């Protein structure tokens, strides 16, 4: 499709494969499937969910929200919910929001879903972006912990947004600023536009800083982290941050080689891989971290519960 090579892509990004949804599949389809899998793993009925958060920048449509579509698909009667828009940081923000809904005492079970069909907003004539993104969805069920959980669960979150970086990664048209028109389509403004180097530099710096500061204020260092599960945007961003944090490769989950950047889905997909590979056990200190469009930055720290 574009002037590139497999070698360039692998060396510069770490990506070897990506998944692209078939034309009939939209974000809510993948989100509902991921949600069902999460519920099945825990043996929880959809009627027992109190809230559904769908983190996405590629909703099926502006409204109704993807959370409503997923709720209906799951038959999760009694749940409320909403979509959360924070691009690649979406899932980390969703996890934190969900954790606070549970810790408030008002919710027992919150389903947090990260789902993006990036292929619908990617310009496959732009070699600087089309090689990066893939489609995917993942879900996590947050539950109120009991006394036997021994302090397991959410520990802390640190986040930051910086709108001055908004122009470096965006989908310019389709909203109230530039509604869809013949011109916006002709000018390819309904696709992702990115200044790759600017985003790269910011991500390398911020991924490290937010993790360092979050660990520090909780009395930890990188040595204490059992597993770092970062957003998967570029292998070089992950490696640079992990090295500076002194978290060795055996304690960092990287699966960008198989999925590319699936935006809000990278962290739940990576977590699922960590579980499948037997790399997470009860009591482990887990660090989630992401930097994304906005700019958005976030990291959260957890004690693994099972
Ligand atoms: N194949 C071959 N060459 C390519 C290419 C491709 N797919 N994409 C870009 N190039 C070229 C550029 O045109 C440029 O050529 P030039 O020097 O002749 O102008 C050269 O490669 C270097 O481009 P540059 O943008 O500096 O490359 P890079 O090392 O920064 O890598 C990205 C590009 C996009 C992989 C990298 O910037 C990146 O990962 N950025 C962050 C992306 C990201 O994280 N986005 C989501 C945030 S959550």
Q: Give the model confidence (pLDDT) of 74-133 as tens digits.
A: 999 999 999 999 999 999 999 999 999 999 999 999 999 999 999 999 999 999 999 999
Q: Which residues are paired to 104 by β-bridges?
A: none
Would you say 274 and 257 are in contact if contact means Cβ atoms under 8 Å apart? no
Q: Tell whether 40 is covered by a domain.
A: yes
- Atom 44 (ligand 1) nearest CA: 233
Mean pLDDT of 189-214: 97
Reduced to 3 states (helix: H, G, I; strand: E, B; else coil), residue 225 is coil
39 and 12 part of one domain: yes
Q: What is the CB neighbour count within 10 angstroms for residue 75?
A: 10
Residues in the ligand 1 pocket, defined by CB under 6 Å: 4, 8-9, 12-13, 88, 127-128, 131, 169, 196-197, 199-200, 203, 233-234, 261, 292
Ligand 1 pocket test target in 16, 118, 123, 197 with most atoms within 8 Å of CB: 197
Inside any domain, residue 43: yes
CATH number, domain of 18, equals 3.40.47.10
CA–CA distance, 234 with 291 (Å, rounded to integer) = 11
Question: Model confidence over 25-74: pLDDT tens digits?
Answer: 999 999 999 999 999 999 999 999 999 999 999 999 999 999 999 999 99
Contact 85, 230 (CB under 8 A): no
Give the closest residue (by CA) to ligand 1 atom 45: 233
Considering the candidates 107, 231, 234, 255, report the single residue annotated as catalytic: 231
Same domain membership, residue 229 and residue 130:
no
Which atom of ligand 1 lies nearest, measured to the CA of 89?
A: 48
pLDDT averaged over every residue in the chain: 96
Centre of ligand 1 to C-alpha 1, Å, is 16
pLDDT digits (tens, 9 = 90+) for 209-244: 999 999 999 999 999 999 999 999 999 999 999 999
Final residue in a domain of this structure, among 115, 148, 181: 148
Q: How many CB atoms lie within 10 A of CB 24?
A: 6
Q: State residue 149's pLDDT score.
A: 74
Residue 1 lies in a domain: no
Contact assessment for residue 1 and residue 125, using Cβ atoms and an 8 Å cutoff: yes
Same domain, residue pair 132 and 224: no
108: containing domain: 6-148
pLDDT mean over 154-174: 97
84 in a domain, yes or no? yes
Q: What is d(CA 23, CA 164) in angstroms, rounded to the nearest whole number?
A: 35
Look at residue 244 and tell me if it is in a domain. yes
pLDDT at 145: 84
- Residue 119 and residue 20 in contact, taking contact as beta carbons nearer than 8 Å: yes
Looking at residue 200, its pLDDT comes to: 96
- pLDDT for residue 151 is more than 80: no
Active-site residue identified among 55, 107, 255, 261: 261
Which residue from 200, 204, 256 has its CB within 8 A of the most atoms of ligand 1, so it is best to mutate?
Answer: 200
Specify whether 211 is catalytic.
Answer: no
The yes-or-no verdict on residue 148 having pLDDT over 80 is no
Strands 227-230 and 169-170: unpaired
Domain end among 131, 148, 165: 148
277 and 224 housed in the same domain: yes
Residue 197 shares a structural domain with residue 217: yes
The mean pLDDT of 254-260, rounded to a whole number, is: 98
Confidence of residue 263 (pLDDT cuts 50, 70, 90): very high
11 and 144 part of one domain = yes
Same domain flag for 206 and 228: yes
Among 130, 148, 166, the domain boundary falls at: 148
- Return d(Cα 306, Cα 293) in angstroms, integer: 33
Q: How many domains does the chain have?
A: 2
Nearest to 153 by CA among 110, 113, 115, 207: 110
The count of other CB atoms within 10 Å of the CB of residue 48 is 15
- Same domain flag for 188 and 277: yes
Element (H, E) at 168: none
**pLDDT classification of 152: cutoffs 50, 70, 90:** confident
Residue 205 falls within a domain, yes or no? Answer: yes
Same domain assignment for residues 161 and 212: yes
d(CA 251, CA 178): 44
Q: 180 with 270, same domain?
A: yes
Residues 192 and 207 in one domain: yes
The pLDDT value recorded for residue 306 is: 79
Annotated catalytic residue 88: yes
The confidence score (pLDDT) of residue 293 equals 98
DSSP category for residue 223: G
User: What gap in Å lies between CA 93 and CA 154, rounded to an integer?
Assistant: 13
Model-wide pTM > 0.85? yes
Range 201-205 average pLDDT: 97
Query: How large is the average pLDDT for residues 299-306?
Result: 93
- Mutation test residue for ligand 1: of 16, 55, 196, the one with most atoms within 8 Å of CB: 196
Whether 209 and 260 share a structural domain:
yes
pLDDT level of residue 150 (50, 70, 90 thresholds): confident
């Amino acid at each position: 499709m574009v002037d590139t090579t497999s070698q360039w892509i692998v060396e510069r990004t770490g990506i070897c494969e990506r998944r692209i949804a078939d034309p009939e599949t939209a974000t809510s389809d993948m989100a509902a499937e991921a949600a069902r899998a999460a519920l099945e793993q825990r043996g929880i009925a959809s009627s027992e969910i109190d809230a559904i958060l769908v983190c996405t920048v590629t909703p099926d449509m502006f409204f109704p929200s993807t959370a409503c579509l997923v709720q209906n698909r799951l038959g999760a009667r009694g749940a409320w919910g909403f979509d959360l828009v924070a691009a690649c940081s979406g899932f980390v923000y969703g996890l934190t929001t969900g954790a606070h809904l549970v810790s408030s005492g008002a919710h027992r079970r919150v389903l947090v879903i990260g789902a993006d069909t990036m292929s619908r907003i990617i310009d496959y004539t732009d070699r600087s972006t089309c090689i990066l993104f893939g489609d995917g969805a993942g879900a996590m069920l947050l539950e109120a912990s009991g006394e036997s959980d021994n302090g397991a669960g959410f520990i802390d979150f640190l986040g930051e947004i910086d709108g001055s970086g908004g122009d470096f990664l965006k989908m310019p048209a389709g909203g109230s600023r530039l509604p869809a028109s013949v011109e916006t389509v002709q000018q390819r403004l309904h696709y992702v536009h990115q200044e790759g180097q600017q985003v790269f530099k910011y991500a390398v710096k911020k991924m490290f800083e937010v993790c360092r500061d979050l660990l520090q204020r909780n009395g930890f260092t990188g040595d204490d982290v059992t597993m770092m599960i970062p957003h998967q945007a570029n292998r070089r961003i992950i490696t640079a941050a992990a090295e500076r944090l002194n978290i060795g490769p055996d304690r960092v989950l990287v699966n960008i080689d198989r999925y590319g950047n699936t935006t809000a889905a990278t962290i739940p997909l990576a977590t699922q891989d960590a579980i499948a590979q037997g790399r997470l056990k009860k009591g482990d200190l887990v660090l989630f971290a992401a930097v994304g469009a906005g700019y958005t930055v976030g990291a959260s720290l957890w004690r693994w519960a099972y």
